[in-house]
Amino acid sequence: MALPRLPHKDKQLVQIVDAALADVAQRSGDWLVCRVGCTQCCVGVFAISQLDVLRLRHGMAVLEREHPERARAVRERARQSVSRLAKTFPGNRETGILGEDDESLERFEEFGNDEVCPVLSPETGECELYASRPMICRVFGPPIRSEGGLGACELCYHGATDEQIAECELVTGTDDLEASLTEEAERKIGKRGNTTVAYCLAKKTSVGGIIGT
């Protein structure tokens, strides 16, 4: 079973989101304090889509070829994370798919809040798969509007007024594109629903196919 190719327009999605973030960073100046070594957003389990899964696995395959020792360390951290959290996983423990019912969603709110992302290097504080990181990682930091209003990383925008924060809002306009690409990725992978980074990377894969656990 070969690792499916990424949807053709995933590169476009990444470029749009990264360009929007660069624009926000310029507008934010020193208020946006995100830097290498700041790992606030790397602690706590978060949900990722099957599009993110496919992108991460392609990135992992590259890391396997170019830096096998680093890749093995990422894989081992992912396996250990899955093992630690398996008993309380709010979904299917075999597939790693998170439950979508109200009870599972409520349990997920308190799930793995102290768990460090397995892709974070404990030696350097860098993301080992930065170029292939999930969408939620790409947009974390600047103000983003959700059902609860406008929210930003608690470490950022200190000293800024509400009006100044609002002027730095990150708007990508990619919701429809991301949704369609996620559906395409789900068809290619044969799985539907969100999962976690650890479950995504715990099993060894390559562009050439599944090569064991």
**For residue 115, what is the DSSP state?**
P
- Which band of pLDDT confidence, cut at 50, 70 and 90, is reported for residue 190? very high
Domain ranges, residue 162:
11-201
Q: Tell me how many domains the chain contains.
A: 1
Task: Report residue 40 as tokens.
Answer: 């606030």
Q: Give the pLDDT confidence of 135-179 residue by residue, as tens digits.
A: 999 999 999 998 888 999 999 999 999 999 999 999 999 999 999
Q: Where are the alpha helices (DSSP H) in the chain?
A: 10-28, 50-66, 68-85, 102-109, 135-139, 162-167, 175-189, 197-201
Does 210 or 203 have the greater pLDDT score? 203
Burial status of residue 69 (CB atoms within 10 A of its CB: 0-12, 13-18, 19 or more): exposed
d(Cα 81, Cα 117) in Å, to the nearest integer?
Answer: 8
Residue 44 neighbours by CB under 8 Å, 6+ apart: 112, 113, 114, 115
pLDDT of residue 148: 83
Q: Is residue 206 part of a domain?
A: no
pLDDT, the chain, mean: 92
- The arithmetic mean of pLDDT across residues 81-102, rounded, is 96
Task: Report residue 84 as tokens.
Answer: 């630690």
Looking at the whole model, is its pTM more than 0.95? no
Task: Count Cα atoms within 13 angstroms, Cβ side, for 140.
Answer: 17
d(Cα 100, Cα 120) in Å, to the nearest integer?
Answer: 27
pLDDT of residue 211: 33
Q: Is residue 4 part of a domain?
A: no
Q: Is residue 213 part of a domain?
A: no
pLDDT of residue 146: 86
d(Cα 111, Cα 116) in Å, to the nearest integer?
Answer: 12
Q: Give the pLDDT confidence of 64-90 residue by residue, as tens digits.
A: 999 999 999 999 999 999 999 999 999
Q: Is residue 127 part of a domain?
A: yes
Q: Is residue 108 part of a domain?
A: yes
Q: Is residue 2 part of a domain?
A: no
In the predicted model, is pLDDT for residue 210 greater than 70? no
In the predicted model, is pLDDT for residue 1 greater than 80? no
- The arithmetic mean of pLDDT across residues 4-11, rounded, is 96
153, 16 Cβ separation under 8 angstroms: no
Q: What is the largest CA-CA distance in the chain?
A: 53
Q: Is residue 119 part of a domain?
A: yes
d(Cα 99, Cα 97) in Å, to the nearest integer?
Answer: 6
Whole-Å CA distances, 152 to 5, 65, 160, 171: 33, 36, 12, 13
Q: Is residue 156 part of a domain?
A: yes
pLDDT of residue 204: 67
